[in-house]
Each structure stands twice: as structure tokens, then as C-alpha cells.
């Protein structure tokens, strides 16, 4: 997954925004530096706190994948390291279904309604959104339940 620069994304226009409104740009730079310090000091910042669900759905799958790739041990409940890595990848996949980008990609009407502005599919689009969100919530429940069963095995 490509990591983005929060300060750059916050500006929406990149560094060129400085020429349009240098005072706001400087305030955002100071805020971004404050958040960077908080991440160094605590491991999380206020931006993460305000959007905790997205932070968890972005971070946990990456951590599970890294544990599977770089980990050397596996719990006794699994027959082999390959089964453990497969289980970790499945939990990461279940968690990724909750991300908004994944939900939009799973909706066949997304391109018609959002990108092209064709609102003839509005009812079908929202029905599909409801179905996808419910499926994502169930997947997240299953993933957290499974992670809870093996919580103390998530180490290397």
C-alpha cells in the first residue's frame, strides 16, 4: 500500500498552495509538524484519533502482512508456518474490505454514478452500497473475533 504524505494531501494543491494563501499554508505546516511530533512521541497523533477507524483499517492489515512475511515463529495451534501466514493474510484481507476505497471498487455502479454523473442508477447504487457495507462490517467482526482468539500469538 502506498503511504501518502498527510501534509501534502491536506493542502489539496501541493506546495503551489503557498502562493495562494501563505498564512494558511504556514499554519498547516505548523499543525503537520505538531502531528509529526505526536506520532514520534506517542505512536499516534490527533489526526489518527479523529479518524481512528480508517487508521486501524490502514495500519492493521499492513502489520499482519509484515508479521507473516518477516515473522519466524508460529503458534502451536497452526500446523506450519505456511498455515499461519495464510491465516494472517486472510485476516488482513477481511480488514481491508472495510476501507472506503475497497467498498467503492466493489460497487459496479460506482463508475456510472460518481465518476460519470449518471444518476439513473441511484437506487441500485445505494442498495449496493448498503449490501457492501453490511458485508464489510461482518468481515471486520469475523477478523476481530479471530484476532481476539489468537491475540497473544501476534508476536515474533
Answer yes or no: do 63 and 93 share one domain. Answer: yes
pLDDT tens-digit readout, 116-128? 776 666 778 888 8
Answer yes or no: do 41 and 89 share one domain. Answer: no
Answer yes or no: do 81 and 96 share one domain. Answer: yes
For 135, the enclosing helix (H) or strand (E) is: helix 122-149
Nearest-angstrom CA–CA distance, 112 and 131: 18
Lookup: cell for 29: 505546516
Domain that includes residue 34, residue range:
1-50
Answer yes or no: do 122 and 138 share one domain. Answer: yes
For 63, the enclosing helix (H) or strand (E) is: helix 52-70
Residue 143 has pLDDT above 50, yes or no: yes
Residue 137 has pLDDT above 90, yes or no: yes
Amino acid at each position: 500500500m502506498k503511504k501518502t504524505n498527510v501534509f501534502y494531501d491536506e493542502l489539496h494543491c501541493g506546495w503551489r498552495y503557498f502562493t495562494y494563501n501563505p498564512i494558511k499554508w504556514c499554519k498547516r505546516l505548523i499543525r503537520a509538524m505538531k502531528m509529526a511530533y505526536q506520532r514520534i512521541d506517542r505512536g499516534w497523533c490527533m489526526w489518527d484519533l479523529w479518524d481512528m477507524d480508517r487508521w486501524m483499517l490502514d495500519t492493521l492489515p499492513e502489520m499482519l502482512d509484515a508479521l507473516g512475511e518477516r515473522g519466524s515463529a508460529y503458534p502451536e495451534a497452526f500446523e506450519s508456518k505456511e498455515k499461519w501466514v495464510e491465516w494472517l493474510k486472510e485476516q488482513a484481507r477481511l480488514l481491508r474490505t472495510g476501507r472506503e476505497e475497497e467498498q467503492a471498487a466493489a460497487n459496479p455502479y460506482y463508475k456510472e454514478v460518481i465518476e460519470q454523473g449518471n444518476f439513473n442508477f441511484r437506487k441500485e447504487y445505494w442498495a449496493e452500497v448498503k449490501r457492501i457495507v453490511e458485508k464489510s462490517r461482518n468481515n471486520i467482526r469475523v477478523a476481530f473475533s479471530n484476532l481476539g482468539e489468537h491475540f497473544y500469538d501476534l508476536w515474533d
